[in-house]
Amino acid sequence: MSSLVIQDLHVSIGDKEIVKGLSLTIRSGEVHAIMGPNGTGKSTLAKVAAGHPDYTVTKGDILLDGASILEKEADERARAGLFLAFQYPSEIPGVSIANFLRAAVQARLPEGEEIDATAYYKRLYAKMDMLKIDRKFTSRAVNEGFSGGEKKRCEILQMAMLEPKFALMDETDSGLDIDALRIVAEGVNALRGPNLGVLLITHYQRLLNYIVPDFVHVMYDGRIVKSGDKSLALELEAKGYDWVKKELALANA
C-alpha cells in the first residue's frame, strides 16, 4: 500500500502565489478527481508534483510513501513511482514509440543492468493487447503528427509499461475530443487496480462519466474547497462552479 500525501502546499511562480494551501491524500487503489474552473491552479499542481522547474514551493510538502519528493529531480520522481500524463504531450521526431518506451524502462533499471529485449517486447505486446493498441503503432515516432486520440493512446501505453504507483493526469478541457476521452478512460479503467493511485484533473464532468472516481475534489483559487464522492461531480455539472463560489462567499461572510 502506497500513499501520495500533499501537505498544505503553497506554490508560486515569480511573486504570484497560485496554489495556496492545498492538502490531499491519495492511497493505492484510489481514483481521485480534481475539478475546478480555469485558472485555479490545477495544472500547476500537476506540474509541481512532477518537478517542473518554473514553479517554487514556498510552503508545505509532497510525500511519496512518507518521504518528501520535493528535492528530487523529475526523473527521480518518475523512478520513485510517479507518472505525469501531460495535457499537451511533446513530439519527439525520429524516435519510435518502441525505442522511447524501451529507453524509459531501461532508465528505471539499477545501474549496469541491461534490459532483456525478448522479455521487453513480450511485455510491450501484452500491454498493447490489453489496451487494444495495434502493433504497427510502436514503429511511429512519438507523438509526431498524432491525433489527440493517438497522443492519449501513447501516454496510456507509457503508463502501462512504467507501472507507476501514482498517475497524475491533467486532462483539461481543450483538445480532448470524445474519441480521446474514451481512450483515456478505457486505458485508466484497464490499468486501475490495487497497486495504482490516480489523480485525474479535469475541467468538465464528462470524463467522469467514463472513469468513475472514488473521490471528487473541487479546487478553487489554489485550494480544495469541497470534497465528496462521485455525486459531487454530478452536482457541479448541474449547478456550475458559481454554486461553490457562492457557498464559499457565505462561509467567509
Q: Which does 54 bind (CB under 5 to 8 A by kind): Mg ion, ligand ADP, none?
A: ligand ADP
Under the binding rule (CB under 6 A), the answer on residue 240 touching ligand ADP is no
50: contact with ligand ADP by CB under 6 A: no
Q: Among candidates 35, 37, 75, 6, which has minimal Cα distance to 221?
A: 37
Map grid coordinates 497524475 to a residue. 168
Q: How near is the Cβ of 45 to ligand ADP at its closest, in Å?
A: 7
Strand order in the sheet with 215-220: 82-85, 166-170, 197-202, 31-35, 215-220, 223-228
Interface with Mg ion, residue 43, by CB under 5 A: yes
Q: Which is nearer to ligand ADP, 157 or 244 (CB)?
A: 244
User: 205 is in the binding site of which of ligand ADP, Mg ion, none (Cβ under 5 to 8 A by kind)?
Assistant: none
The per-residue b/e assignment along 237-248, b for 16 or more CB within 10 angstroms, e otherwise, is eeeebeebeeeb
51 binds ligand ADP (CB under 6 A): no
Exactly one of 40, 143, 158, 172 binds Mg ion (CB under 5 A); which one? 172
Query: C-alpha cell of 99?
Result: 525505442
CB of 216: closest distance to ligand ADP in angstroms?
15
Looking at 6, 24, 42, 143, which residue binds ligand ADP (CB under 6 A)? 42
Binding of ligand ADP at residue 54 (CB under 6 A)?
Answer: yes
- Our finding on whether 68 is near ligand ADP (CB under 6 A) is no
What is the rounded distance in angstroms from the CA atom of residue 178 to the CA atom of residue 170? 16
**CB 211 → ligand ADP: shortest distance, Å?**
18
Residues 9-28 that bind ligand ADP (CB under 6 A): 13, 18
Find, among 78, 126, 132, the residue nearest to 105 by Cα. 78
Among 2, 35, 43, 226, binds ligand ADP (CB under 6 A): 43
Q: Closest Cα to residue 139, out of 152, 129, 124?
A: 124
Closest to 131 measured CA to CA, from 161, 87, 106, 176: 161
